[in-house]
Amino acid sequence: MNVVIIEDEKLTADHLTLLLQRIDSHIKVVKYLDSVKATVKAFDEGLQADLLFLDIHLADGNSFDIFNKIETEIPIIFTTAYDNYAIQAFKQNSIDYLLKPISQKDLTFAIDKFKKQQTIPQQQLIENITTAYQQLNKQYKTRFLVKLGQNMDTIQTDKIHHFETQDSLSFLVTNKGSRYAIDYTLDQLEKMLQPNDFFRINRKVIVHIQSIEKVNTYFNGRLSIQSKLLDGDARVVSRERVNDFKAWLDN
């Protein structure tokens, strides 16, 4: 198997090469590249390989710029220093990845996964990972403009306890218990808020991770959170959201 490593950190490239040789002596690294420019040039000149290892961030840009300039059907395993949320997005889009620092266990798993995915069109995988990357770089709201009487103020998202809806109106509730009517629905807010920080526990409440004091089991397979500004049904995690809620807490 001929492999090309596209990586701007020489120590990482050398380490990856050593691990590949340990895993399979038939794997041969035929080319090292360290930039978008060098990679595009190499492909234009006819570079061929069975598998690419591609760093997300290169010396002169991010690796997705490569696909705006060339077309390739060579399977790709991405390497990344992203956090767990990013890795989860890659998994959901059926893309192989390696989290730096690269371990032999993760590399073995990624190569095995690559072999199993040979029936999936690589262009489809590239389109999926590009979409995921764009979503990860989406700018989430960091503050909200609120109005109280004739006065206006901005509330930073780290000062927000939760959002709730009552009688078709949406409210922002601060950590100090102040309530402000806002013009967004909870459906809209879910798309605006950083998903690492906020979770919609039921139809009426989106809560900030720092607002959760404790989580308890509850009737009929549901969960109940302890939070100083939520009570009654507002603090109950609906049954269909329980698994996602647990995964969010464990992220």
- Four-point Cα dihedral 36, 39, 43, 47, nearest 10: -170
The domain made up of 143-249 has a fold known as: OB fold (Dihydrolipoamide Acetyltransferase, E2P) (2.40.50)
Specify the pLDDT at position 90: 54
Does the model's pTM come out above 0.75? no
Q: Is residue 139 helix, strand or coil?
A: coil
* Position 106 pLDDT exceeds 60: yes
Each residue's pLDDT tens digit, 190-212: 989 998 899 999 999 999 999 99
DSSP 47-63: ---SEEEEESEETTEEG
Specify the pLDDT at position 93: 44
* Position 92 pLDDT exceeds 60: no
The CATH architecture assigned to 2-136 reads 3-Layer(aba) Sandwich (3.40)
Domain ranges of the chain: 2-136, 143-249
